[in-house]
Amino acid sequence: MNSITPAQLPDWLRQSSDPDAPEALPVVLDVREPWELQTASVKPDGFELRAMPMRTVPARLLELDRHQPIAVLCHHGGRSAQVVQFLEGNGFTHVVNIHGGIHAWSQERDPSVPVY
């Protein structure tokens, strides 16, 4: 499983973007629960932000494009790692875990994101 830190996200986004389809942005898939999203959320910047609680991912799998780059985000990185493994097992080829989750995001990328 590939992992990146929040600080590495801009480089990953540059490497993952398709110059032939600039409108097709990579996805940051936030798999936290709705109450967590209300507590703290990231601002899309060079990526499409999608919220899909971890427990709903299997039922909503067809909403995701197997060929679109996806970076998975949760609170600390545990749930997102499980989702990455699930996606890879279902044929997704360009998926990474955001190690440290939104907690690390607050420390490395955007201190305005609340820590909880």
Identity of residue 36: E
User: Is 30 annotated as catalytic?
Assistant: no
Q: How far apart are CA 81 and CA 44, in angstroms?
A: 21
φ, ψ of residue 114 to 5 degrees: the values are -60, 145
- Cα angle: 97, vertex 65, 7; to 5 degrees: 30
Q: Which residues contact 68 (CB under 8 A, 6 or more apart)?
A: 24, 26, 27, 94
- Catalytic option among 27, 31, 42, 74: 74
Coil, strand, or helix at residue 20?
coil
* Residues designated as active site: 74
